[in-house]
A and B are shown apart, each in its own frame.
Chain A
Amino acid sequence: MKILVCISKTPDTTSKIAFKEGNTKFDDNGVQWIINPYDEWYSLVRAIELKEKDASIVLHLVTVGLADCDPVIRKALALGGDEAIRINTDSSDSYYIAAQIAEVAKQGNYDLVLTGKETIDYNGSSVGAMVAELLDIPYISLATKLELNGSTAIINREIEGGEEVNEVILPLAVSCQKGVAEQRIPNMRGIMAARTKPLKVVEPVQINELTSITGFELPPAKAGVKLVAPDNVAELVRLLHEEAKAI
């Protein structure tokens, strides 16, 4: 059994969001890069748990990014996994990224490809679906639970107002979110081991980008809060009804 976990880097969740070069680029000055939380806490940790139960599982990590991703991918390896592959290119187009991952996935013949539910910077929620299509395998999105039983995966996925339980025969791609696993902190042994784990760098395949970002905008500032005295709740209800027209 071989599992591939897709790891992307994102700015730390508390980063100040600012742009440069005439609002066309994210200003990463002073920004701390972290593993995208959905990739780290949920898909990676779940893959590690599966490997802990079945030592024959081979676990690879893949990231599409330039050399500045290496510290992030080493941190992921410190949590677990046998080796990492970095595809040496960068893009904001999800199709371009997915096509690169699919190329590596095809060569590695993985039974299970895991992604996070979304990246918390571009919020695409699309790379996993694209990889699955390019590999022509089933895809379960927004998983909240993932179990393996031989060559069958049993997955809970989010639906409007609830969950449904699906059974699918491998190979399969899954996007993971809260519920699939619990956050882990890397220990010293993991960090030491990660230093010697292989981090292969491969060059990208030629793919045309289908989209590009032309610029960023910050949302207009809020007008400021209108405070109502706690002994005048009726006034709040009046404002919500007459002014905001929200109730």
Chain B
Amino acid sequence: MSVLIFVDQAEGQIKKSSYEVLTYGAALAAQLGTQAQALVLGTVKDDLSTLGKYGISKVFTINNTSLDHLDAQVYARAIADAATITQATVIVISHNQTGKAVAGRVAARLKAGLVTGAIALPDTTNGFVVKKSVFSGKAYANVSIKSTVKIISLNPNSFHTKTVDGTASIEALPVNVDASKVKTVAVNKVSGEVPLTEAEIVVSGGRGLKGPENWGMIEDLAHVLHAATACSRPVADAHWRPHHEHVGQTGVQIAPNLYFAIGISGAIQHLAGVNRSKVIVVINKDPEAPFFKAADYGIVGDAFEVVPQLTAEIKKLKGL
């Protein structure tokens, strides 16, 4: 019996969401009175013994170049085999892009019950019940897992990383790895920007900003906060902003610590993508805008006047 935590990496670097699942998995192992062990696939540049800082006793590695890049089929088999060899009873994965590709596959392979988008540690007083976000953040469901092996995928930004003293031992696992059937012919990364799904702070603009030429002040505010930029759906549909910035029910779902909604009315479909944000700030000239009902802080005012002042005040605070 142990908890196996899948550590996701890209281009040899461990992702931020992985530290959240490591902390979560270690807390879960402590709750179950068992060990937290991590699994790293492919070539990673980070010093893996430092994962001990997240409460991990042992790091298993599978070194094979087929694992340097995601192919859900190859990854799932490696993760499932590692879980079987290490006799893991709980597998923890991030509900990020990689998790969405592989968690279901691992579950089907092991006939293990899966709860995706978990937001808290399971209740293990009577069975094994995991709380997850449903109806696009409008409610929670408590889901009981009945199988022997259980899989939890954790919503990004829902569990804070914590560090302790400790180093982990490292062990390579003898697992056969299939050749990948997926050929990656191009990777297009938006350089210099903070990735939206990983951002702690997001500055988002809506149709109230009138046109793409007015996004300079949104980018300035995002820049001083080291934040990602986002937008409402009509803004992306009108090509004022790139599609990958569209948040909401039909766009990207995010849960940052701080979300600025500027010139966005707060339609229910927009809220569905952002209502898991910890703190919401709304800037809208209409006091009746529905977004104020979902907000923690607000300014009823003209974005064109408020936003530049906001950027200036934050610069002052940060001594920039």
Chain B contact-residue range equals 35 or more
Bitwise, B97-136 to A at CB < 8 A (1) or not (0) is 1001111111111011111110000000000010111111
Known A126-B114, A129-B101, A225-B282; contact A234-B299, beta-carbon cutoff 8 A: no
Look across to chain A and name the residue whose beta carbon is closest to the beta carbon of B186.
A165
The docked-state distance in angstroms from the alpha carbon of A168 to that of B184 is 9
A241 contact set on B, CB distance < 8 A:
317
A4 within 8 A of B: no
Total contacting residues, chain A, CB less than 8 A: 83
The docked-state distance in angstroms from the alpha carbon of A178 to that of B300 is 32
A-B contact count (CB 8 A): 279
Q: Are A214 and B135 in contact (CB under 8 A)?
A: no
Q: Are A139 and B101 in contact (CB under 8 A)?
A: yes
B57 within 8 A of A: no
Q: Are A141 and B201 in contact (CB under 8 A)?
A: no
B131 contact set on A, CB distance < 8 A:
217
B62 contact set on A, CB distance < 8 A:
none
Q: Are B306 and A230 in contact (CB under 8 A)?
A: yes
- Stretch of B43-51, B139-147, B166-174 on the interface side: B139-147
Considering residues B107, B111, B133, B186, which has the most beta carbons from chain A within 10 angstroms of its beta carbon? B107
The docked-state distance in angstroms from the alpha carbon of A55 to that of B220 is 50
Considering residues A38, A144, A159, A234, which has the most beta carbons from chain B within 10 angstroms of its beta carbon? A159
Q: Are A142 and B185 in contact (CB under 8 A)?
A: no
Q: Are A14 and B198 in contact (CB under 8 A)?
A: no
B286 within 8 A of A: no
The docked-state distance in angstroms from the alpha carbon of A223 to that of B297 is 10
Give 8 closest A-B pairs by Cβ, nearest first: A129-B104, A230-B301, A161-B195, A210-B113, A126-B104, A162-B189, A133-B108, A133-B105
Residues of A within 8 A of B (CB): 11, 13-14, 17, 19, 37-38, 41, 93-95, 98-99, 117, 120-130, 132-134, 136-142, 144, 154, 157-169, 175, 177-179, 209-219, 222-223, 225-230, 233-234, 236-237, 239-241, 244, 246-247
Residues of B within 8 A of A (CB): 10, 15, 71-73, 76, 95-97, 100-109, 111-117, 129, 131-147, 181-190, 193-198, 201, 225, 243-244, 246, 249-251, 257-258, 268-269, 272, 275, 278-279, 281-282, 292-302, 305-306, 309-310, 313-314, 316-317
Known: A126-B116, A214-B129. 15 other contacts (CB 8 A): A11-B135, A13-B269, A123-B135, A125-B104, A129-B108, A159-B187, A166-B185, A167-B183, A169-B181, A215-B141, A219-B140, A225-B292, A226-B296, A236-B310, A246-B279
